[in-house]
Amino acid sequence: MIENVLWIAVALMILSSIIPATRGIKFLTGGVGWIFFSLHWAYQPLHYIEISDYFNVVLTLAIAAFCLFMAHSMIREYKGPSESGLSQDTNIILMVTSATAIGSLFYFPFANILSLNQWIISNVTNATAGLLGLLGYNVESTWHMITYNGYTVQIILACTAIESIALFTGLIISINAPFKRLMSAFMVSVPVIYMLNIVRDAFVIVAYGDQWFGAESFEIAHHVVAKIGSAIALFVIAYVVMRILPELLDMIDGLWQMTTRQIRDILRKS
């Protein structure tokens, strides 16, 4: 049932992105899409509570609240559109909706359709095993597992970097900028993220197989070193992308200003 809610949300937001901005139904459609998207995220804490991951409980509830905020903003625009045309806040809402729709369209099929899930995991597994073989490491692999020195690592969807790829793809495509700059931003982000992720997976497998950090080699390599490295790499990539597409920085800053301003208004009224 919750998967149906997700697909309805994505379909409505994509439809909202296609409908011309001159038609009020665009905002109503997007607002309803955000409501369904909030229901999807509000359901996720049930899983994280079961595994005692309370950080993600708070995170998913915060995302659900943000989705409701976006829904409120779009429905408010539907009820009372500005007579002077699209305001800066409205443009930001539309860009964020488009970015979310496109990013979701790239990510959720891999997360929810078994054949696509297995395809991307197999692709990353083969690429990682190929890189290790090229570097002289004797590894054995199946479609989703790589064994080195008797230690086996299972490649799962989170090991494919599809989340980051979908995020950058959605953000870049949603920006209104010349095609040449959009392609430049895409090339310095998505292919680079994919290749760096293969290197990251290879590092974790070698560190685990050679027991670089003793008995806790996998935990340290995967949960500490690789995560810190990934965070630094994504920060650098995001910086380069925003240098190429300053419109993206304007969108992020505008979203922050709009959100904080409306929160202050709500607190002032209460």
Catalytic residues: 159, 200
* C-beta separation of 57 from 48 below 8 A: yes
Q: Rounded to whole angstroms, how far apart are CA atoms 79 and 192?
A: 43
- Among 76, 67, 75, residue whose Cα is nearest residue 101: 67
Question: In this structure, what are the phi and psi dihedrals at residue 140, rounded to the nearest 5 degrees?
Answer: -120, 140
Buried b / exposed e along 75-113 (16+ C-beta atoms within 10 A): bbbbeebeeeeeeebbbbbbbbbbbbbbbbbbbbbbbee
CB burial of residue 235 (10 Å; 0-12, 13-18, 19+): exposed
Spacing of C-alpha 169 from chain mean position: 9
Specify the DSSP class assigned to residue 157.
Answer: G
- Among 130, 195, 204, residue whose Cα is nearest residue 161: 195
Kindly state the tokens that stand for 252.
Answer: 């992020």
Q: Rounded to whole angstroms, how far apart are CA atoms 74 and 92?
A: 11
* C-beta separation of 218 from 225 below 8 A: no
Q: Which amino acid is at 195?
A: M
Q: Where are the beta strands (DSSP E) in the chain?
A: 139-141, 145-148, 151-154
